[in-house]
Amino acid sequence: MLRILIRLLTAAILLTLTISVAVAQEDTYEDPQGRYNMPIPENWTVEENDAYTTVQSPEGTIKLYFMVAPLMTDTPDAVAAGWQLVKPDFAAEQASTLEPPSQSPVDSTLVVNYDLGDDNVIYQAVAQVVGDQVYLLLVEGPLTDIQRRQAQITVISTGYTISGTEQTDLTGVEPRTIDAEMTGALEDYINVLMPQLKIPGAVVAIVQNGEIVYMGAFGTREMGSDSPMTVDTHMMIGSSGKSLTTTMMATLVDDGLMTWDTPAQDILPQFEMADAELSEQITMRNLVCACTGVPRRDFEFLFNANSLTAEDVVESLSTFEVFTDFGEAFQYSNQMVATGGYIAAAAGGGEWGNLFDSYAEQLQARVLDPVGMPLTTISFEDVIQRGEYATPHALVAGFEYEPLPLDTERTLMPIAPAGSHWSTVEDMAHYIIMQLNNGTAADGTEVVSAENLLITREPQVAVSADDDYGLGWIIAGYKGLPLIEHGGNTLGFTSDLAFLPDTGVGIVVLTNTQVSNVFNISVRSRLFDLVFDDVDAETDAENMAFTVGVMDEQYALPENLADSVDASVVEAYTGTYTNAALGDIVIELTDGTLTLDAGEFSGAILPLMEEDNPDQVDYYITVDPPVSGLQLHFEETDDGTIHIVAGQGVTEYTFTPVE
């Protein structure tokens, strides 16, 4: 109905008159000339005039301009002309450009980021050339608003489709039987990929038709060591463990101890949001759906992990601001999922003051034992005692990895149900088999009913144009086939679980490196391509070369990063500071090195100089893992005291001196 309305209005009004249509529910906008289409999120506004279409956020602060224009002399000129059309006074300088590989019918793509001298405002352009036409997407908006509505922007940008775009559809194609030849080809691919992406160690397991058909280990447990990775090596799985929690919740629903729609306060009266009305409305389903509007606030457990309890995590939600309306946009909160796990433990008989232990016990009894996952745990002590664990590695400047002390990963313990699980690739393969069997373990044990397990895979909120978030799972697609998946990141490990429910094929990929998602997902995709005999090695290699180049640039040391501090200046910054959400930090100057010590971690601080004035400090950044790249502004107030502003946009925190 919306697309018909837009077309009728366009034909009926003067070309210079703009129309505005507010979208009550997500719909698809189609260009009146049939050149492109895109999804429009709920409550966003579409405006048309003769030369371009504007899509605006509900607040009107974020604007996405779409237009198609003649190519002119070259793509940059077309981009500049586009900006002059929508903003005649636009005069920002280009900060960076990218030319990613393109897919037919697009001949070439150019991405431009701009520098306006204000990090709190974002301008970006994407130009796609098709023949003698250039398809432009221009984006502008405040950083904080873009952070709040990033998922909805992703829905629009990933759904923006130029007419003639081809999509592979494998519906009805029979998967091949996974054999030694196929796994050998996958191993060859992994052995090429690991040095490209500098991965120290990885393990892979593949399941098909209810059986583990392959397990393989690559590299070493620690960079520079001769201790090989094995399929029995313990690694953390991060957010891939969220579905372990929602599976446990499904068993509680089976047993009549709660329902998915039981209000959280009915089970745990201590649960409270900042909004009293919302506190009463939130159900057990809502806690794990990423759809309540509660944003990501990871710093608040990273900076306080040594003192946080499960109960503290639950109580912390009473201070969280809600970014978007209920069910309006994907907002990923580890504290919300952790709270869901802890309240589920209370539904199973756990008591306030013992929620962490109760969660561990019920996860063991309800999921891990019946599935056959003897080495999966949230106990660091059990992992250390067993002694077969990989060393976590942090990604540092220069696109390099370096080992992290194992205890650094303990900062995730307060949010255990959301992502502090340890496991092995074989345990996780057993878990994938249970998922593919819709609740029945490999040995025939019924772990959970198919009815309640499948509810965890029902879409709750859009992540992109093609993907939705369920309850601890991402509901996606692979070349026309349903795909269920979830990745996980800790401070030094990465995981990926994925399966094609209609074909009986699944894969687990674990690494001992931070944010190695490109590697994990590439291995997963190559397996599926092999299974369906649809490998395009040339395109894959081109895409990987581009990705590696981007990562080299993204993680390069900034040219304007100084190698030391001016002790005479930073001496005034030393002392103890506090923030209500992040707690206390200590700024120290020792032997010429400025450091930030949060208790849970510490690291050096260096100044980033102004690009146009290399003698003037722009701001400072942390340079050591696990929290590297954090912006710090030391600001002198009117009374002469120093305040520290850490972070940017919605993740900005102000520290004041402790008297």
Which domains are assigned to the chain? 2-162 (3.40.1000.10), 180-554 (3.40.710.10), 567-657 (2.40.128)
* pTM metric for this prediction: 0.93
Q: Which residues are 465's β-sheet partners?
A: none
How many angstroms from the chain centroid is the CA of residue 601? 23
- Extended strands (E) in 10-83: 19-22, 27-30, 36-40, 45-48, 53-56, 63-70
pLDDT above 90 for 659: no
Which DSSP symbol is given to 365? I
- Which of 341-345, 377-381, 608-612, 620-624 bottoms out in mean pLDDT, i.e. has the lowest? 608-612
For residue range 206-221, list pLDDT tens digits in order: 999 999 999 999 999 9
- Which of 13-27, 78-92, 208-222, 293-307 bottoms out in mean pLDDT, i.e. has the lowest? 13-27
pLDDT above 70 for 11: no
CA–CA separation, 340 and 241 (whole Å): 13
Rounded alpha-carbon distances, angstroms, from residue 353 to 342, 437, 639? 11, 36, 43
Question: Tokens 């120093």 label which residue?
Answer: 642
pLDDT above 60 for 70: yes
Rounded alpha-carbon distances, angstroms, from residue 347 to 265, 340, 352? 11, 10, 11
With cut-offs at 50, 70 and 90, classify the pLDDT of residue 73: confident
pLDDT over 70, % of the chain = 96
- Which of 314-328, 330-344, 445-459 bottoms out in mean pLDDT, i.e. has the lowest? 314-328
pLDDT over 90, % of the chain = 87
Give pLDDT, residue 600: 92
pLDDT (average), residues 114-134? 91
Give pLDDT, residue 244: 98
Sheet with 19-22, edge to edge strand ranges: 19-22, 45-48, 53-56, 63-70, 133-142, 121-130, 108-115, 93-98
pLDDT above 70 for 9: no
Give pLDDT, residue 388: 97
With cut-offs at 50, 70 and 90, classify the pLDDT of residue 321: confident
For all residues of the chain together, what is the average pLDDT? 93
Give pLDDT, residue 26: 63
Within 13 A of 240's CA, how many CA atoms are on the CB side? 36
pLDDT above 80 for 5: no
Residue 194's CB: how many other CB atoms inside 10 A? 20
Residue 382's CB: how many other CB atoms inside 10 A? 12
For residue range 28-44, list pLDDT tens digits in order: 999 999 999 999 999 99
- Which of 114-123, 312-321, 483-492, 542-551 bottoms out in mean pLDDT, i.e. has the lowest? 114-123
pLDDT above 90 for 320: no
Q: Which residues of 121-152 are buried (b: 16+ CB within 10 A; e: fewer)?
A: bbbbbbbbbbeebbbbbbbbbbbbbbbbbbbb
Helix or strand or coil: residue 125? strand
Give pLDDT, residue 8: 23
CA–CA separation, 406 and 418 (whole Å): 19
Who has greater pLDDT, 167 or 439?
439
CA–CA separation, 497 and 508 (whole Å): 5
pLDDT (average), residues 79-103? 93
For residue range 645-657, list pLDDT tens digits in order: 999 888 899 999 9
pLDDT (average), residues 240-266? 98
267 φ, ψ (degrees, to nearest 5): -90, -45
For residue range 563-587, list pLDDT tens digits in order: 999 999 999 999 999 999 999 999 9
For residue range 137-166, list pLDDT tens digits in order: 999 999 999 999 999 999 999 999 999 988
For residue range 505-539, list pLDDT tens digits in order: 999 999 999 999 999 999 999 999 999 999 999 99
Give pLDDT, residue 7: 26
Give pLDDT, residue 158: 94
